[in-house]
Amino acid sequence: MMRQYELVERVTKYDPDADEDLLNRAYIYAMKAHGTQLRASGEAYFNHPLEVAAILAEMKLDTATIVAALLHDTVEDTEATHQEIVEKFGSEIASLVDGLTKIKKLDMVTKEATQAENLRKLLLAMSRDVRVLLVKLADRLHNMRTLHHVKPEKRERIAQETMDIYAPLAGRMGMQIIRDEMEDIAFGVLNPEAQKIIRDRLDRLHVESGDVLREIELALSKELESNGLKAEVKGREKRPYSIWRKMERKQLSLDQLSDIFAFRVLVDRIDECYRTLGVVHRTWRMVPGKFKDYISNPKQNDYRSLHTIVIGPHSMRVEMQIRTHLMHDIAERGVAAHALYKDDEIKGLADQGLQVAAGESNAYRWLRHLMDVLQEGDSPKEFLEHTRLELFHDQVFCFTPKGQLIALPQGATPIDFAYAVHTSVGDSCVGSKVNGRHAPLVTKLRNGDEVEIVRSEAQVPPPAWEAIVVTGKAKAAIRRATRAAMRKQFAGLGREIIEKLLEQQSHAYVEKEIANAVPRLGHKNVDDALSAVGRGELSGLDVLKAMGVTVDEKEVRASRRKVSLKKAESDGKFSLPVRGAAANMALKIHSVTGAVPGERIVGISTPGEGITIYPIYASALEQFDQQPDRWVDLAWGVAEEGQRFPARIKVSLANEIGALAQVTQVIGEHGGNIDELQLQARHGVRDFFDLTVLLEVFDIRHLNDIMNGLKSRPLVSTVARVTG
């Protein structure tokens, strides 16, 4: 265990003005507060906050952050109180500790809800003071380092949470060193076999390649020096989890990966970065399409660098990352590096084009955006989903017609772009132009695309858009608009019910009378009360009673049933429950993709054959782009009870015993029916095979339940709808 004086010496070494008395008092207070508490390893619990403080001292953070690290578990795990921390250490440190204290007394139903609420509190505290994040990440890092002492079932849950939330969060805030270590530890827990295979392969590769890394370092250093460039060249092997992630993303086997080696070239100024790039490309042949300029277009976490892949000695693919020393500092330590810059240093950094003040940081702008999503989420589960979406996706950079830069996740569509500009733009979106040409709203945007949104104030975003978009903001806005539309529809039905009842009693419908009765009904306004009536949550009898109108209860219930039946009849029922087609037209669902109630659909008419129904995202629709006369606007009606619909999905499975059984088990457990099943080995890939399944399901919710169930199985790599 680190001694009291050792911690003080570490801090004063980089900060001679540190408050030694405050550090000493915090050390003693935390040690006494934790007393005889022990960790799972059997060591004194106080060693944990001490190690967290040591990690932050390595990052050279201020005294208040170090003290908060020492105290971060006292309020949660000891008799200490928030007020006591305020009195002994001041409001600044107490605020940091409070931001880190888990929510223990909330009445949560699920572990996921608890996790979401804890994350919500952490992010809110972090938006006020980023030092909360630094302590939390150091806390999680030390917990991961000692994870082998935890019970296996808890170990996996912690590792998964780290992989889902904390490692990506560290990455988004630019703290790559912490992210890499967290991911590698979690990877070893969640997939130890894969980690061992990759480590063994790297060991063999290192033996086979001999001194290639050193050879490239010397050759590049010599070439740069001969061109008048003073640079530091560092060669390295990629980390096991980084290699695994690339294999998953590109669906490659380990033998197919070529750019396992990477080099960082560090120079002093930005202009030297581009001069170095020129030397590298003159020395070795560049791999086409593998150059990325993150200096001109920084990532959201403020990462700046030039990336290129070249064919180096021995025909080996080598990745080069070229950046300044300051860029490297920010790339490794992110907001922790930002926290160290003094006001007089910021001007010098700005001269190099580096905006590092908190208010100018891309990472902070992303955090503020995440806070907007937090406010839009209606439940902890939605918030957690949106946060994961924002954390995981890489970026594409697109432009408005006026030149405004919009950063979006990979796979984003014009709908995501519209909502990124403004929620009202997304809600009114009816079409798009990409690079001056009309493009379907399902188009996946690419770097450099100029996107123009076509709008109509009469538009209401359809619920099926939620399955198309990838950003949390767009998903939240679409759900909100869907709820508003449903609320309006139910309010209309409720108003019709009340009007009929009042008409039977020869009593005029007066909005003001209902408004006066609303407080007695427990609702905020008339629309809320009428919507509750339309949904069946509030009876018309209760509304009339609150208005002071007396009627016979049997008469009320009869009227309610009559109106409901009338509404159902107006929607109509067909062998295929679809609205928008002529009554004499034959309807069929596209055999490749399938289509299910709850998702947006369109029809393509074929003379003599009728109308084929497609889900809106089907790639097969692209062949009809130049035939607008064949398109038919369709919508789902009310399906008969027990009626099933086809949907085709593609499942990527690990090539292991029991994989197929896991798929059929999940489908059976969720009440799905397998109509057709095709198994296909991937060409040149021995580790995985593809399974195409034609399912019969009740609706989109039923289908999503099955797909989510499949994704949770360990031998399932990916699950996706077949789009055509």
- Over residues 641-679, the pLDDT tens digits come to 778 899 999 998 888 887 888 888 899 888 888 888 888
Report how far apart, in Å, the C-alpha atoms of 321 and of each of 309, 338, 436, 578, 623 are: 9, 21, 34, 55, 42
Q: What is the pLDDT of residue 540?
A: 75
The mean pLDDT of 228-256, rounded to a whole number, is 79
User: For residue 322, what pLDDT band results from cuts at 50, 70 and 90?
Assistant: very high
77 as an active site residue: the answer is yes
Band of residue 355 on the pLDDT scale cut at 50, 70, 90: very low
What mean pLDDT do residues 189-212 have? 81
More confident residue, 560 or 438: 438
> Residues 420, 406: contact at Cβ < 8 Å?
yes
- Could you tell me if 273 and 238 lie in one domain? yes
Measured CA to CA in angstroms, residue 516 lies from 497, 500, 521, 532, 538 at distances of 18, 20, 10, 16, 16
What pLDDT, on a 0 to 100 scale, did the predictor assign at position 589? 93
Quick one: 71 and 153 in the same domain? Answer: yes
Give residue 720's pLDDT.
92
For the chain, the C-alpha Rg in angstroms (whole number) is 30
Look up the CATH number of the domain holding residue 255. 3.30.460.10
Answer whether residue 238 is part of any domain: yes
Banded pLDDT at 337 (limits 50, 70, 90)? low
Answer whether residue 677 is part of any domain: yes
Three-class SS state of 250 = helix
CATH number reported for the structural domain that contains residue 108 in this entry: 1.10.3210.10
Last residue of a domain, one of 571, 590, 611: 571
One of 9, 76, 345, 378 is an active-site residue; which one? 76
Q: Taking all residues of the chain, what is their mean pLDDT, rounded to a whole number?
A: 80
Cα–Cα distance measured from residue 52 to residue 33, given in angstroms and rounded to the nearest whole number: 17
Please tell me the predicted confidence (pLDDT) of residue 126.
Answer: 63
Residue 474 lies in a domain: no
Q: Cβ(34)–Cβ(73) under 8 Å?
A: yes
Residue 352 lies in a domain: no
pLDDT of residue 347: 45
Same domain, 84 and 157: yes
- pLDDT higher than threshold 90 for residue 21: yes
The domain boundary residue, chosen from 125, 149, 182? 182
**C-alpha–C-alpha distance, residues 176 and 313, integer Å:** 29
pLDDT of amino acid 186:
93
Relative to beta strand 306-311, strand 285-286 is antiparallel
Residues 594-626: tens digit of each pLDDT: 999 888 899 898 877 888 999 988 888 888 888
Lowest mean pLDDT among 225-229, 279-283, 577-581: 577-581
Number of domains into which the chain is organized: 5
**Predicted local confidence at residue 553, as pLDDT:** 56
Q: Alpha-carbon distance 622 to 442, whole Å?
A: 10
pLDDT for res 573: 38
Same-domain pairing of 613 and 651: no
pLDDT at 258: 58
Same domain, 68 and 166: yes
User: 548: left (phi > 0), else alpha (psi -120 to 50), else beta?
Assistant: left
Angle between helices 63-71 and 131-145 (to 10 degrees): 50
Task: Please report whether residue 209 resides in a domain.
Answer: yes
- 242 in the same domain as 148: no
3 state DSSP class of 628: helix
12 and 128 in a single domain? The answer is yes
432 located within any domain: no
* Predicted model pTM: 0.53
Whether residues 13 and 84 share a domain: the answer is yes
Write down the pLDDT at residue 490. 76
Q: Which of 87-101, 266-280, 523-537 has the lowest mean pLDDT?
A: 523-537
**Binning pLDDT at 50, 70 and 90, where does residue 526 land?**
confident
- State mean pLDDT over 508-537: 79
Categorize the per-residue pLDDT at 376 as very low, low, confident or very high, splitting at 50, 70 and 90: low
Out of 571, 595, 611, a domain closes at 571
Say if residue 268 is in the same domain as residue 241.
yes
Are residues 47 and 155 located together in one domain of the fold?
yes
* 651 and 548 housed in the same domain: no
Say whether both 213 and 311 belong to one domain. yes
Tally of CB atoms within 10 A around 582 = 9
Element (H, E) at 234: strand 232-237
Is position 76 annotated as part of the catalytic site?
yes
Does 357 map to a domain? no
Q: Which residues of 57-76 are buried (b: 16+ CB within 10 A; e: fewer)?
A: bebbbbbbbbbbbbbbbbbe
- The whole-number pLDDT of residue 565 equals 38
pLDDT of residue 552 exceeding 70: no
Task: Say whether pLDDT at 193 is over 50.
Answer: yes
Catalytic residue among 58, 62, 77, 513: 77
How large is the average pLDDT for residues 269-298?
90
Q: State the Cα–Cα distance between residues 409 and 51, nearest whole angstrom.
A: 36
- Nearest CA-CA partner of 267 in 232, 221, 294: 232
Evaluate whether residue 414 is within a structural domain: no
- Report residue 342's pLDDT band, with 50, 70 and 90 as the boundaries: very low
Domain ranges, residue 253 = 194-338
